[in-house]
């Protein structure tokens, strides 16, 4: 299945075999953590047991079935999609902005989403009951998604002139827009009551606890569509590493690459933030780590980022449920607690490469 | 088959840079663009690559309007070495060359063979595993040349001659590698391809160019066979300093002692 070329045929500096091997390894790791995640939770239902019973055609207790199918499985799938989205979006943004520290936050996606969430948490009560009733519990995710898209469309519009998008303008306008959004958000927070403030804080920390099939079925199509678009970007992003002019010279349609990158990233992160809140660090740490191991070739970086991102998020979710069991911590705390020091360590041990 | 520019006017920002330049570069010849700093050589080359759209005038490649050609099609007919190159992630030399093959449908075996051959041509046969960012300036320039070369490896294709557009290809090279690269360009032209090179070294231009365009303040002040453009009068006037042409002993190679008269 994985054909690794014998060394004498390979040329030095060709790292395709590493990308391929990483794919396989990460796939196995993902399956391992997925099973672990299914088997873990306060109810004590054992995944191998349930699976074995199912396969053998034995009766499975209804409670076990409900726990597995309606609680743990949607949570696992949501975690995988969100992790993959955040990591791939990070890799795509870094390629587009030609900067290893870029993340989807630069598109205004995160600030737009948080404004949407804040507004719906604090002002949602002011909506006429009929309208609030339509959205029900989904008011926050829907508002977050709408907020992220509006912010992104505004930024894209500002940065595009005569059919060409200026990445540098987008970056700077993104910072200005984020500041303006933060001011509006601050104003709304000023009027929040104590219960709303608590909700806001938890939303900001991110969590997979509220996962359900309904939420997943709303977010999954957007996320999957966005993820499916990303492999088309691999060669374009490789070309862009040499600058926009050279990318065009080697045959890349630069403007189309930019547009797809921006739309797909905004879709994937917008939907992810909507279902899980603000989960930081995955988008920067995962692609960075992979670049150190398999190199920056986007043909391998994107797919491996998706796999590692999904794995990392599931692992973080498992930890978040273990630390204070039977309660659970917001997952954003876990990713930051592990991601921060880890990233620092990676940076410090690679100073030579970074400073060069 | 040729690459021609007709009455090119290019405006950058609000600044008119080219004021009606004409150029006819023929396949099979090495065409040099010379002229002082800021005279518009790079701008002209960027218009010839299709990167800049002229405000007035047109560029045609093998008889087809450049503005109508798709990026992929264009990439299979001409390759470009820019005056400056940047790289944002730690790619290896082999991976950079691979980027030159983006517009081609070639399998791994072909790609490997091409990468090896291209690196050998620019005299970097052992460098495929090195990180680009850790190479010297001259080595980086030769890697970029190899990246361009691999993109149009066969000088002539089904659609006619292919083109190499080089902006100061020898600017950071030592004397031996200047000769390596100029011979490489000349051989590409001899094999039927087209080469247009922006040059600052007038000696190398005299040695290798078949046809020369002299730029001055956004205009072509002379165009023609090398010996008709490299004259005392034209060069002294264009560069604003006194230059004398001498004949080298032996065959008809021209030599230009810089600042012949002090
Ligand atoms: N992006 C730009 N905007 C405005 N003016 C520009 C731009 N790029 C170049 N110019 C101007 O156009 C003129 C021609 O520039 P060009 O780069 O073509 O010169 P050149 O002949 O290649 O010079 P050199 O020998 O230094 O490379 C210069 O006066 C330069 O200042
Ligand atoms: Mg120049």
**Residue B135 pLDDT class (50, 70, 90 cuts):** very high
What was the pLDDT predicted at A200? 82
| Ligand 1 mutation pick, B14, B18, B41, max ligand atoms within 8 A of CB | B41
B141 neighbors A38 (Cβ within 8 angstroms): no
Strand partners, A54: none
- Above 70 in pLDDT, residue B23? yes
Write out A238-296 in H/E/C secondary structure.
HHHCCCHHHHHHCCCCHHHHHHHHHHHHHHHHHHHHHHHCCCCCHHHHHHHHHHHHHCC
Phi, psi of B80 (to 5 degrees): -130, 130
- Above 90 in pLDDT, residue B127? yes
**Residue length of chain A:** 356
Spatial separation of the C-alpha atoms in residues A21 and A307, rounded to whole Å? 13
User: Considering chain A, what percentage of its residues have pLDDT values greater than 70?
Assistant: 90
B198 neighbors B41 (Cβ within 8 angstroms): yes
What was the pLDDT predicted at A329? 85
- Above 70 in pLDDT, residue A123? yes
- Above 90 in pLDDT, residue A169? no
- Which class for B70: exposed (0-12), middle (13-18), buried (19 or more C-beta within 10 A)? exposed
Place of tokens 């075996």: B109
Ligand 1 binding pocket includes B216 (Cβ within 6 Å): no
Question: A23-27, A209-213, A266-270, B220-224: lowest mean pLDDT where?
Answer: A209-213
- Above 90 in pLDDT, residue A291? yes
B124 neighbors B137 (Cβ within 8 angstroms): no
**Residue A88 pLDDT class (50, 70, 90 cuts):** very high
Averaged pLDDT, A177-184: 90
Which two three-digit tokens encode residue B220? 């072509």
The reply to whether residue B51 touches residue A245, judged by beta carbons under 8 angstroms, is yes
Per-residue model confidence as pLDDT tens digits over B147-191: 999 999 999 988 899 999 999 999 999 999 999 999 999 999 999
Spatial separation of the C-alpha atoms in residues A326 and B229, rounded to whole Å? 86
DSSP class of B92? B
Ion ligand 2 neighbours (CB, 5 A) are: B 42, 83
Neighbouring CB atoms inside 10 A of B242's CB total: 12
Ligand nearest to the CA of B82: 2
* ipTM for the assembly: 0.91
**Helix H or strand E encompassing A30:** helix A16-38
**Residue length of chain B:** 262
A68 neighbors A348 (Cβ within 8 angstroms): no
What was the pLDDT predicted at B248? 66
Distance (Å) of CA B230 to CA B77, B202, B239 = 30, 8, 12
What was the pLDDT predicted at B257? 56
What residues of chain B have any CB closer than 8 angstroms to a CB in chain A?
Answer: 46, 49-51, 71-72, 74-76, 79-80, 82, 85-96, 98-100, 102-103, 108-109, 112, 115-116, 128-130, 133-134, 148, 151
Those residues whose C-beta lies under 8 Å from the C-beta of residue A20, and which sit 6 or more positions away, are A2, A3, A4, A300
DSSP class of B168? S
Per-residue model confidence as pLDDT tens digits over B73-98: 999 999 999 998 889 899 999 999 99
Averaged pLDDT, A133-151: 78
Averaged pLDDT, B61-71: 89
Ligand 1 binding pocket includes B40 (Cβ within 6 Å): yes
What was the pLDDT predicted at A161? 83
The reply to whether residue A13 touches residue B49, judged by beta carbons under 8 angstroms, is no
Chain A residue closest to B78 (CA)? A249
Residue with more model confidence, A344 or A23: A23
Task: Spell out the domains of chain B, with CATH numbers in brackets.
Answer: 2-257 (3.40.50.300)
Question: How far away is chain A from the Cα of B249, in angstroms, using its nearest Cα?
Answer: 42
Q: DSSP 3-state assignment of B218? A: coil
What was the pLDDT predicted at B98? 94
Which two three-digit tokens encode residue A270? 């917008």
Asked if the bond preceding A326 is cis, omega within 30° of 0, the reply is yes
Those residues whose C-beta lies under 8 Å from the C-beta of residue A190, and which sit 6 or more positions away, are none
Question: How far away is chain A from the Cα of B12, in angstroms, using its nearest Cα?
Answer: 14
**Residue A117 pLDDT class (50, 70, 90 cuts):** confident
Per-residue model confidence as pLDDT tens digits over A19-56: 999 999 999 999 999 999 888 766 666 666 777 777 77
- Above 70 in pLDDT, residue A6? no
**Residue A137 pLDDT class (50, 70, 90 cuts):** low
Averaged pLDDT, A339-354: 75
DSSP class of A70? I
- Chain B positions touching A245 (Cβ under 8 A) are 46, 51, 80, 82
Distance (Å) of CA B228 to CA B108, B211, B233, B241 = 47, 9, 11, 19
The reply to whether residue A235 touches residue B102, judged by beta carbons under 8 angstroms, is yes
Strand partners, B11: B16
Neighbouring CB atoms inside 10 A of A238's CB total: 25
**Residue B143 pLDDT class (50, 70, 90 cuts):** very high
What was the pLDDT predicted at A3? 54
Q: Helices marked H in chain B — which ranges?
A: 41-49, 71-77, 93-99, 108-121, 137-151, 175-190, 202-208, 226-229, 232-239
The reply to whether residue B130 touches residue A13, judged by beta carbons under 8 angstroms, is yes
- Chain A positions touching B102 (Cβ under 8 A) are 235, 238-239, 250-252
What was the pLDDT predicted at A44? 64
Which two three-digit tokens encode residue A40? 């873990």
**Residue A356 pLDDT class (50, 70, 90 cuts):** low
What was the pLDDT predicted at B234? 92
Ligand 1 center–CA B38 separation, angstroms: 5
- Chain B positions touching A248 (Cβ under 8 A) are 50-51, 71
Q: Regarding beta strands B246-247 and B254-255, do their DSSP bridges make them parallel or antiparallel, or are they unpaired? A: antiparallel
Q: DSSP 3-state assignment of B5? A: strand
Average model confidence (pLDDT) for chain B?
91
Per-residue model confidence as pLDDT tens digits over B2-11: 899 999 999 9
Averaged pLDDT, B241-251: 73
Spatial separation of the C-alpha atoms in residues A330 and A320, rounded to whole Å? 7
| Top CATH class, A7-350 | mainly alpha
Spatial separation of the C-alpha atoms in residues A149 and B1, rounded to whole Å? 50
Phi, psi of B249 (to 5 degrees): -65, 150
User: Considering chain B, what percentage of its residues have pLDDT values greater than 90?
Assistant: 76
């Amino acid at each position: 299945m994985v054909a690794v070329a014998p060394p004498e045929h390979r040329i030095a500096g060709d790292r395709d075999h590493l990308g391929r091997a990483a794919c396989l390894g990460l796939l196995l790791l993902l399956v391992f953590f997925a099973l672990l995640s299914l088997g873990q939770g306060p109810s004590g239902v054992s995944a191998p047991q349930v699976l074995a019973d199912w396969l053998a055609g034995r009766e499975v207790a209804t409670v076990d079935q409900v726990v597995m199918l309606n609680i743990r499985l949607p949570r696992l799938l949501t975690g995988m999609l969100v992790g993959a989205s955040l990591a791939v979006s990070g890799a795509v943004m870094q390629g587009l902005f030609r900067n290893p520290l870029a993340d989807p936050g630069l598109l205004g996606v995160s600030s737009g989403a948080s404004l949407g969430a804040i507004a719906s948490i604090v002002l949602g009560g002011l909506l006429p009951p009929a309208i609030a009733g339509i959205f029900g519990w989904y008011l926050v995710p829907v508002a977050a998604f709408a907020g992220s898209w509006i912010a992104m469309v505004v930024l894209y519009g500002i940065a595009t002139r005569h059919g060409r998008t200026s990445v540098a303008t987008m970056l700077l306008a993104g910072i200005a827009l984020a500041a303006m959004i933060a001011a509006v958000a601050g104003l709304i927070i000023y009027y929040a009551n104590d219960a709303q403030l608590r909700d806001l804080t938890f939303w900001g920390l991110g969590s997979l606890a509220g996962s359900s099939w309904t939420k997943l079925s709303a977010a999954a199509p957007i996320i999957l569509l966005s993820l499916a678009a990303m492999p088309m970007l691999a060669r374009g992003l490789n070309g862009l590493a040499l600058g926009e002019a050279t990318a065009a010279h080697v045959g890349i349609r630069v403007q189309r690459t930019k547009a797809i990158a921006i739309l797909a990233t905004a879709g994937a992160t917008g939907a992810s933030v909507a279902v899980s809140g603000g989960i930081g660090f995955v988008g920067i740490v995962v692609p960075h780590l992979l670049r150190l191991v398999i190199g920056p070739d986007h043909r391998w970086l994107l797919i491996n980022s998706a796999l590692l991102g999904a794995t990392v998020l599931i692992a973080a979710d498992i930890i978040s449920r273990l630390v204070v069991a039977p309660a659970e911590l917001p997952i954003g705390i876990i990713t930051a607690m592990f991601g921060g020091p880890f990233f620092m360590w990676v940076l410090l041990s690679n100073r030579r490469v970074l400073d060069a | 088959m040729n690459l021609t520019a007709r009455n090119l006017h290019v405006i950058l920002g609000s600044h008119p840079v080219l004021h009606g330049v004409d150029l006819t570069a023929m396949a099979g010849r090495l065409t040099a663009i010379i002229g002082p700093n800021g005279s518009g050589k790079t701008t002209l080359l960027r218009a010839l690559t299709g990167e800049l759209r002229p405000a007035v005038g047109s560029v045609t490649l093998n008889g087809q309007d450049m503005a109508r050609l798709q990026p992929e099609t264009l990439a299979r007919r001409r390759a470009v070495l820019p005056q400056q190159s940047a790289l944002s992630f730690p790619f290896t030399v082999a991976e950079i060359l691979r980027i030159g093959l983006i517009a081609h449908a070639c399998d791994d075996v072909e790609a490997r063979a091409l990468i090896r051959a291209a690196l050998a041509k620019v005299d970097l046969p052992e460098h495929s595993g090195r990180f680009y960012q850790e190479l010297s300036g001259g080595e980086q320039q030769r890697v970029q040349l190899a990246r361009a070369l691999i993109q149009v490896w066969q000088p002539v294709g089904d659609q006619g001659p292919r083109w190499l557009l080089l902006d100061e290809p020898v600017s950071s090279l030592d004397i031996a590698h200047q000769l390596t690269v100029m011979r490489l360009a000349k051989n590409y032209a001899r094999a039927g391809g087209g080469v247009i090179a922006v040059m600052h070294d007038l000696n190398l231009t005299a040695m290798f160019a078949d046809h020369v365009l002299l730029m001055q303040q956004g205009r072509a002040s002379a165009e023609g066979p090398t010996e008709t453009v490299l004259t005392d009068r034209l060069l002294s006037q264009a560069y604003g300093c006194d230059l004398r042409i001498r004949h080298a002993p032996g065959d008809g190679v021209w030599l230009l002692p810089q600042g012949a008269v002090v």
